[in-house]
A = this chain, B = another copy of it.
Amino acid sequence: MTVRVMSAMMGALLLVFAQLHAQTDPLPSWNDGPARKAIVDFVQATTTQGGPSFVPPEARIATFDQDGTLWVEHPMYTQVVYCLERVHVLAEQDPKLKDVEPFRTVLSGNREAMAKLTMPDLEKILAATLTGMSVDRFNTEVKKWLTAAKDPRWKRPYTELTYVPMQELLKYLRTSGYKTYIVTGGGQDFVRVYAEQVYGIPPEQVVGTAGGTKYGYDKARKPFLIKEPKLLLNDNNAGKPEGIHLMIGRRPYAAFGNSTGDRQMLEYTKAGDGTRLAMLVLHDDGQREYAYGPAAGLPATRVGAFTQSLYDEAKKNGWTVISMKKDWKRIFAFE
């Protein structure tokens, strides 16, 4: 058998496999409706060779917010839970912290007092719990915590609180040649610890709020990187398109978010040429997950500000709103 014949056979076989694959529904947890249709239409339009909206594979970039878009953010971001619990560990190592604010308030466990902590207070807590250690040490600590910590409502590890429909969407886009990125307001180093295992997204495809590191040597002249309390990128609001430019250098063709912090990322994505997809997850399912935000006809909460103005912009600009209640058959894998 010549190489030419083998090539032809392989091509034919690959085609058969592709067709077999296409017959399987890639989005089984999505109900029929405008959200599902927007996704399927977008993928077909941008991957149909010779079509007017075809996007070459190397330009297929899709970006996802994390908190509230890929997993639960309510009532508190998982990373904030981590930081608050770390304060207890730090206080064991350094009992003086018990007398210093804002650590004293955190250690008191008084939820009302904690809710009143200011932004500078929070920054002190983040600096103390996320910096001043080597990158390797930080990764080890987060990994250890994630194995043990549990969400109080579902009594499951936080890493299980990801939305099955969004996991299907990530895979569907990847199967369609898209490179999937997380673009999160959360800490880039924090999310990178588990993104590969939880979402199939490698660390180099996680863009997030990032601090500087400092290169140095230990006593044996072995080099290491120390996490510094120096903000390089605040990956929220306008910081999202700025971070996308810094870390990816291409405009996404599809972007997914759930709050005003994602507004500029969606605007920037939609402003590109050709067919682009922008979607917002609306938390309107108080029974299976949570319902919050004015757009759900409910009072705003500290997180996940899906405001009326964001809803209006979505309607005006042709962004598709995903209703958790109506569009998702299933929310979690453990249900």
User: Which listed residue (B58, B203, B238, B248) contacts A250, Cβ 8 A?
Assistant: B203
Cβ-defined contact, B222 with A58, below 8 A: no
Please, which residues of chain B bring their CB within 8 A of the CB of A225?
241-242, 245, 268
Cβ-defined contact, A9 with B13, below 8 A: yes
Given A10-B13, A16-B6, A210-B246: A215 and B271 interface contact (C-beta under 8 Å)? no
Cβ of A276 under 8 Å from chain B: no
Given A6-B16, A6-B17, A249-B204: A215 and B189 interface contact (C-beta under 8 Å)? no
Cβ of A100 under 8 Å from chain B: no
Q: Tell me how many chains of this kind the complex includes.
A: 2
- The CA-CA distance from A246 to B214 in the complex, in Å, is 11
A20-38 vs B, Cβ < 8 Å mask (1 yes, 0 no): 1000000000000000000
Cβ-defined contact, A223 with B267, below 8 A: yes
Give the bracket for the number of chain A residues in contact with chain B: 35 or more
Given A58-B196, A223-B267, A242-B212: A249 and B188 interface contact (C-beta under 8 Å)? yes
Cβ of A102 under 8 Å from chain B: no
Cβ of A233 under 8 Å from chain B: yes
A63-80 vs B, Cβ < 8 Å mask (1 yes, 0 no): 000000000000000000
User: Which listed residue (B16, B179, B192, B232) contacts A233, Cβ 8 A?
Assistant: B232
Please, which residues of chain B bring their CB within 8 A of the CB of A212?
242, 246
Please, which residues of chain B bring their CB within 8 A of the CB of A148?
none
Given A17-B6, A196-B58, A213-B242: A204 and B135 interface contact (C-beta under 8 Å)? no
A215-250 vs B, Cβ < 8 Å mask (1 yes, 0 no): 100000011110000001100001001100111111
Question: Nearest B residue to A228 by beta-carbon distance?
Answer: B242
Please, which residues of chain B bring their CB within 8 A of the CB of A16?
6
Please, which residues of chain B bring their CB within 8 A of the CB of A179?
204
Cβ-defined contact, A246 with B213, below 8 A: yes
User: Which listed residue (B6, B13, B61, B215) contacts A264, Cβ 8 A?
Assistant: B215
Cβ of A206 under 8 Å from chain B: yes
Cβ of A202 under 8 Å from chain B: yes
Question: Nearest B residue to A14 by beta-carbon distance?
Answer: B10
Cβ of A119 under 8 Å from chain B: no
Cβ-defined contact, A249 with B189, below 8 A: yes
User: Which listed residue (B61, B202, B204, B271) contacts A223, Cβ 8 A?
Assistant: B271
- The CA-CA distance from A203 to B20 in the complex, in Å, is 34
Cβ-defined contact, A192 with B223, below 8 A: no
Please, which residues of chain B bring their CB within 8 A of the CB of A233?
232
Q: How far is the CB of A150 from chain B (nearest CB, A)?
A: 27
What are the 8 tightest A-B residue pairs by CB atom distance, in nearest-first order?
A203-B249, A215-B238, A204-B248, A192-B249, A223-B267, A213-B242, A215-B241, A223-B268
Q: A9-B9, A213-B245 are in contact. List 7 more A-B contacts (CB 8 A).
A: A6-B17, A188-B246, A188-B249, A204-B249, A212-B242, A222-B271, A225-B245
